[in-house]
Structure 1
Amino acid sequence: MTIRPDPTFHATPRLAMEAEPEKLAYTLLLSPDFSQPDALAVVDLDPKSATFGQVLSTLAMPHKGDEFHHFGWNACSSSLSPLTDHAFLERRYLIIPGLRSSRIYVVDTKPDPRHPTIHRVIEPEEVFRKTGYSRPHTIHCGPEGIYVSTLGGGGPDGTDGPPGIFIMDCQTFDVIGRWEIDRGPQDKHYDFWWNLPRDYMVSSEWALPPQFEGGIVPEQLLSNKYGHRLHFWDLRARKHVQVIDLGENHQMALEVRPAHDPVKEYGFVGVVVDTTNLEGSIWTWWREGGQFHCRKTATIPPEPADAADLPPLLQGFGAVPPLITDIDLSLDDRFLYVSCWGTGEMRQYDVSDPMQPKLAGSVHVGGIARKTPHPNGKAYAGGPQMVEISRDGKRVYWTNSLYSTWDDQFYPGGVPSAMVKADVGATGGLTLDPTFWPEFPQGYRAHQIRLEGGDCSTESFCYPSV
């Protein structure tokens, strides 16, 4: 607890863009065969440092088999909301859930941000007992607490009741309880985010645990059994207010990215694959006349490929789907970055007009068939996956692993850890930095990235930019 608000909290997106650039990244590492504990790596991002691009430390957890996936800060710019009584929190703790174990780690990044320590471990029994949920997934810091979405309900396979969101105390880190009062027709979960002043939340759908934990289930996918809906919620009433079905062929609606400026009532969602043609798509949703609407605004086609270059899962199609597994929006709401994990492409769209995204930049690295090496000549297995943008919008970082069992299906040759950096041109465009290549410990795969001082996929702003 500080006497004044944390200086890394900013009232508006524009003020956050003017802050000091990031100097450290926190990157999750998972052990795909559970032979060692998952870990958190600290990477030097300061170009003036003698250790730029190197791993400064690695914090291993005390348990095995957690399957780290997504994580987030205990507090962020949402703490400056006029409705909160937590304005003096610090952006200090990282909340790291184990997607497979349902265990949650609270990691302290102070007093030495380069060498974080474990502050508390929340055992899965506490999550089960207080919420009835399992498989914690996405972390968002809200004005009054920490919000945690889940992918599973109760029972051994997570199908005893639907998944949902629960709240943790942002100071003690105790699990408080379920968030939803009225969930309506929502029965699957993935990502969620909100517009705090406009008082609404949007959430998306991936799958239930039996559909993802052992790998993708082709029969389920081809019969359109994965998630394909968006859900809209009254944030304060904790009530489901509207559902939009994108069409059952639009399988796996994953990351939702609302505009950062709360004046703007729109956002984006990425769809992994269209089962009728293997294309990926970007959709724009918006609110007008008290109702939410959604439209497909960009598509990315599959790439033809020789069956000999494809894993068994794709050989019958003779093509590589782009597989949009992550998207991220710059703080000025100008550029949307789209990870095409299958084709090995990172796309940059100018979304100044959110209804007409325009391709502004693209780089290739990795990919199922392309196998494009990094500019330094080293092999990059997997494809662009979890993407994070610097607050000033000038640098983009990403990793290469999706989920252990899915990695093995699409990239059977293995997905050793990789994290890369691309520089953004003044008017758009991407250039991979050939000097940035952290060497992570052997046996790990790299997943999500968080930036010291906040980043574009965690911050919620309560005031409009001027």
Structure 2
Amino acid sequence: MNLRPDPTFYPSPNDAIHAPVEKLAFTLMLSPDGTKPDGLAVVDVDPESKTYSQIVHELYVDNLGDEFHHFGWNACSSALSPLTGHAFLERRYLIIPGIRSSRIYIIDVKEPLNAKVHKIIEPEELFAKTGYSRPHTIHCGPEGIYVSTLGGGGEDGTDGPPGIFIMDCESFEILGRYEMDRGIQDKHYDFWWNLPRDYMVSSEWGLPPQFENGVVPEDLLSNKYGHTIHFWDLRGRKVTKSIDLGAHHQMALEIRPAHDPVKEYGFCGVVVDTTNLQGAIFTWWRDDDGEWQAKKTITIDPVPADADDLPELLKGFGAVPPLVTDIDLSLDDKYLYVACWGLGEMHQYDVSDPMNPVLAGKVEIGGIVAKHKHPNGKTFGYGPQMVEVSRDGKRVYWTNSLYSTWDDQFYPGERGAAMVMARVGDDGGFALDPDFWIDFPEGYRSHQIRLEGGDCSTDSFCYPSVG
């Protein structure tokens, strides 16, 4: 325990915007066929460094078949909560779940170039203490580490609904399930909260048989994937309202609330509309009567394509869907970044008015049919996927793998892992940095990114911004 709060903890989003610029990034590496152990790459993102745009350290675990996917910190700015905070924690450990193995690794990155495994939580402990499996999203809360899961009990993860469990933020012991009353919630994906306003929002992807071996076309066309978002009484640990976005809005994924806790709105990305192949963004908000509402505020159209240029899964449609697979919101709540994994595009929307987003910029790279190259001439396999924004909003990083079996369906053949970065203009718009390109070891794919000291999908804040 520190004698004073970690210097990377900030009371408000505005304070964090003015934090020192990140010099390192942490990126997950996964072995798609499970023949190699998954790992963590430490990437130099300091343009003044001699090793800029290079992997400067690699850590590999001892097990096979984990499939590293999402990960997060043991502690962040939420520790400054005036009610239940652990202000003297240290942002020191990365919590990395294996989405296939249900194994969880606690990685000590106090010395990033000597990162090491601190503790391993085996799947048997997770099953015994929660009844859940397939851990997914990590959020550092003021009193513990919250982890969402995609599976319930049983071998195929369908014995009971998935949910959220809580870990002790110092010992990393699993404490137990979060939910007291889940209402109709029976699938899971992402979640996030507004701590002072005391609410949480969660979303839905699908159950393990619907994603582990790839998209199940029959389930998708029958609208059997998740399409509902749930609003929770955070401290009461119960659902207060569930909003169905429409059965045809399949796979409601990332939840991105406004960072300023005064604001009571946020966004949710939807992978595909099965009636027209559009991607969509919904804005959700609490109205003047205290009721939760949601409205589709962004649509992204598919692009017609010759069947011969499409993977088997899409040949019958004659078009490339955008496939909105990740979104991220800048700390000033101004720009929403939307990864269109199918088209090979990263969109930037001005969401200063969250009910009327405006397209402010677009970067083209990769894509099922487009195959846009990087400015350095290299081929970017797959499409823009996991996106992370620097605290000052001036740099946007992303990788290219979605999930191993889905990669193989939409982009057959090995395409290689990559990580790129775009620089944001003072008045919006953004463009790829031609000098930033990360190659990963052969046989690996790259997924989520975390930035040194925090980023735009890590920290939640307890105090309003001023100015």
What's the TM-score, normalizing by structure 2? 0.99
Q: Provide the rounded CA distance (Å) in 1 between the counterparts of 2:87 and 2:415.
A: 41
Letter aligned with residue 187 of structure 1 = D
What SS does structure 2 have at the residue aligned with 1:315? helix
**Paired residue total:** 465
Letter aligned with residue 433 of structure 1 = D
Q: Provide the rounded CA distance (Å) in 1 between the counterparts of 2:93 and 2:122.
A: 17
Give the corresponding residue for 2:387: 387
Matched, 1:349 2:341: no
What SS does structure 1 have at the residue aligned with 2:409? helix
Contact between 1:324 and 1:338, CA under 8 Å: does it hold in 2?
Answer: yes
Contact between 2:365 and 2:372, CA under 8 Å: does it hold in 1?
Answer: yes
Tell me the CA shift for residue 430 of structure 1.
Answer: 1.1
Give the corresponding residue for 2:250: 251
Deviations 1:348-369 (A, max 9, x none): 0000000000000001000000
Letter aligned with residue 400 of structure 1 = N
Task: Give unpaired runs (5+ residues) of structure 2.
Answer: none
Give the corresponding residue for 2:224: 225
Letter aligned with residue 324 of structure 1 = V
- Superposed counterparts of 1:294-373, under 5 Å: 294-373=294-373
Give the corresponding residue for 1:425: 425
Q: Provide the rounded CA distance (Å) in 2 between the counterparts of 1:422 and 1:286.
A: 30
Q: Provide the rounded CA distance (Å) in 2 between the counterparts of 1:415 and 1:209.
A: 25
Q: Provide the rounded CA distance (Å) in 2 between the counterparts of 1:437 and 1:348.
A: 20
What SS does structure 1 have at the residue aligned with 2:32? coil
Q: Provide the rounded CA distance (Å) in 2 between the counterparts of 1:396 and 1:85.
A: 30
Deviations 1:95-137 (A, max 9, x none): 0000000000000001x22231100000000100000000000
- Superposed counterparts of 1:395-410, under 5 Å: 395-410=395-410
What SS does structure 1 have at the residue aligned with 2:128? helix
Give the corresponding residue for 1:180: 179
Contact between 1:42 and 1:115, CA under 8 Å: does it hold in 2?
Answer: no
What SS does structure 1 have at the residue aligned with 2:230? strand
Deviations 1:192-214 (A, max 9, x none): 00000000000000000000000
Contact between 1:139 and 1:147, CA under 8 Å: does it hold in 2?
Answer: yes
Tell me the CA shift for residue 85 of structure 1.
Answer: 4.4
What SS does structure 2 have at the residue aligned with 1:125? helix
Give the corresponding residue for 1:94: 94
Give the corresponding residue for 2:270: 271
Q: Provide the rounded CA distance (Å) in 1 between the counterparts of 2:84 and 2:255.
A: 24
When the two chains are superposed, the root-mean-square deviation of aligned CA atoms in Å is: 0.6
Percent identical among aligned pairs is 74
Q: Provide the rounded CA distance (Å) in 2 between the counterparts of 1:85 and 1:432.
A: 39
Task: Give unpaired runs (5+ residues) of structure 1.
Answer: none
Tell me the CA shift for residue 84 of structure 1.
Answer: 2.0
Letter aligned with residue 90 of structure 1 = E
Tell me the CA shift for residue 461 of structure 1.
Answer: 0.2
Q: Provide the rounded CA distance (Å) in 1 between the counterparts of 2:113 and 2:53.
A: 13
Contact between 1:400 and 1:415, CA under 8 Å: does it hold in 2?
Answer: no
Tell me the CA shift for residue 413 of structure 1.
Answer: 2.3
Deviations 1:29-67 (A, max 9, x none): 000010100000000000100000000011001100001
Q: Provide the rounded CA distance (Å) in 2 between the counterparts of 1:11 and 1:327.
A: 24
Tell me the CA shift for residue 8 of structure 1.
Answer: 0.2
Q: Provide the rounded CA distance (Å) in 1 between the counterparts of 2:313 and 2:177.
A: 38
What SS does structure 1 have at the residue aligned with 2:315? coil
Give the corresponding residue for 2:143: 144
Q: Provide the rounded CA distance (Å) in 2 between the counterparts of 1:415 and 1:231.
A: 36
Letter aligned with residue 441 of structure 1 = P
What SS does structure 1 have at the residue aligned with 2:342? coil
Tell me the CA shift for residue 248 of structure 1.
Answer: 0.2
- Superposed counterparts of 1:447-462, under 5 Å: 447-462=447-462
Q: Provide the rounded CA distance (Å) in 2 between the counterparts of 1:74 and 1:355.
A: 34
Deviations 1:124-173 (A, max 9, x none): 00100000000000000000000000000000000000000000000000
Contact between 1:401 and 1:415, CA under 8 Å: does it hold in 2?
Answer: no
Matched, 1:118 2:140: no
Deviations 1:251-293 (A, max 9, x none): 0000000000000000000000000000000110000112100
- Superposed counterparts of 1:14-93, under 5 Å: 14-93=14-93
Q: Provide the rounded CA distance (Å) in 1 between the counterparts of 2:24 and 2:317.
A: 42
Q: Provide the rounded CA distance (Å) in 1 between the counterparts of 2:69 and 2:107.
A: 15
What SS does structure 2 have at the residue aligned with 1:313? helix
Letter aligned with residue 214 of structure 2 = G
Moved more, 124-133 or 112-121: 112-121
Letter aligned with residue 336 of structure 1 = L
Q: Provide the rounded CA distance (Å) in 2 between the counterparts of 1:412 and 1:114.
A: 35
Letter aligned with residue 368 of structure 2 = I
Matched, 1:205 2:204: yes
Deviations 1:355-410 (A, max 9, x none): 00000000100000001111110111100000000000000000000000000000
Moved more, 138-147 or 431-440: 431-440
Q: Provide the rounded CA distance (Å) in 1 between the counterparts of 2:221 and 2:439.
A: 38
What SS does structure 1 have at the residue aligned with 2:312? coil
Matched, 1:214 2:213: yes
